[in-house]
Amino acid sequence: MNTFAFVTRKDEHSAALAEQIRQRLTAAGYTETDSPETVFVIGGDGTFLYAVHQYLEQLEHVTFYGLHTGTLGFCTDYRESDLEEFLQVFLDGKTEEVRLPLLESISASGRTYAVNEIRIENAARTQVMEIYINGEKFETYRGTGMCVCTQLGSTAYNRSLRGAVLAEGLPVIELCEISGIHHSRYRSLGSPLVLKNTAEIEFRAESFRGALLGSDNDVLSMDDIQRVTVRMSPGRSVRVRRGRRISYFERLKTLF
């Protein structure tokens, strides 16, 4: 069964491209369904994140194949000017499957997953929290929040926080402060910390009232939570179709 679906950015241009792709796939005998083998992602990196979250419960059954409208993305290998190649490589079965790791958070509210980052952010008041790494107390932190990102997510929010960009292929995660307050009473590292991807980071607070737990584009209230553990998910990952290899530095150059 050759089945597909679309996740398309909400602009006319992306919609028109999706329509073109739909016609070509249909003519080649493919069927559009709600439980597809391939999800065509037409838009930006934000669209890719949205697509993964939409299919979170079916990740083992779908692969994502992306066309970036605009600049070159971190989650996709093709721009719209490459539409012909994008389609031909797919129809010829010449794409290769790669897996992207997911971060996961575990708390009393359940589990969340993220491609880019999981963050705790409190815009309502100063957040105090204890940070444990692999069960060992690391620091007491005070500030707006903390961000844990994947290698892929290092160029997203993490980069705005002055976290290090992590080159493709590094099996690590990065912990970065969001406006940490540093003075004699509360001591925290202050600089980004890169850890092995096997690390487990636990955040504990007397109260997270007012804070949000963000997982890419999803957020949930932390009002009823006192602990959250963040780690690479041992169970879930994202299957992505790649048709060609783009140099990481070529992607990086699109950011500035």
Kindly state the smallest distance separating residue 149's Cβ from ligand NAP, in Å: 8
Q: Which part of the chain contacts ligand NAP (CB under 6 A), choosing from 54-62, 89-97, 156-164, 191-199?
A: 156-164
Residue 44 touches Mn ion, criterion: CB under 5 A: yes
What is the rounded CA–CA span in Å between residue 221 and residue 210? 7
Please answer whether residues 179 and 187 qualify as being in contact, where contact means their C-beta atoms are separated by less than 8 angstroms: no
Q: Which two tokens stand for residue 120?
A: 């705790």
121 binds, among Mn ion, ligand NAP, none (CB under 5 to 8 A by kind): none
Residue among 89, 94, 115 nearest 103 (CA)? 115
- Residue 139 contact partner, candidates ligand NAP, Mn ion, none, CB within 5 to 8 A by sort of partner: none
SS3 state at 168 = coil
Interacting positions 35-54 with ligand NAP (CB under 6 A): 44-46, 49
92 is catalytic: no
Determine if 192 is a binding residue for ligand NAP (CB under 6 A).
Answer: no
- Tell me, rounded to whole angstroms, the distance of Cα 165 from its chain centroid: 14
Q: What are phi and psi of 58, to 5 degrees?
A: -125, 25
Task: Report d(CA 168, CA 153) in Å as an integer.
Answer: 11
Please report where in the chains the tokens 């797919």 appear, as a residue.
90
**Alpha helices (H) in the chain, listed in sequence order:** 12-27, 45-54, 83-91, 157-160, 248-253
- CB 3 → ligand NAP: shortest distance, Å? 26
Query: According to CB under 5 A, which residues from 45 to 84 bind Mn ion?
Result: 46
Tell me how far apart the alpha carbons of residues 117 and 251 are, in angstroms, rounded to a whole number: 19
Candidate residues 2, 88, 217, 221; the one interacting with ligand NAP per rule CB under 6 A: 217
x/- contact string, 84-123, with ligand NAP (CB under 6 A)?
A: --------------------------------xx------
CB 89, CB 95: distance < 8 Å: yes
Q: Among candidates 193, 192, 195, 177, which has minimal Cα distance to 232?
A: 195
Task: Note whether 216 binds ligand NAP by CB under 6 A.
Answer: yes
Catalytic residue among 45, 92, 223, 224: 45
From residue 56 to residue 75, the character string flagging contacts with ligand NAP as x (rule: CB under 6 A) and all else as - is: -----------------xx-
* Active centre residues (catalytic): 45
**Which residues of this protein are in contact with Mn ion, per CB under 5 A?**
44, 46
**Which residues of this protein are in contact with ligand NAP, per CB under 6 A?**
44-46, 49, 73-74, 116-117, 152-153, 155-157, 160, 216-217
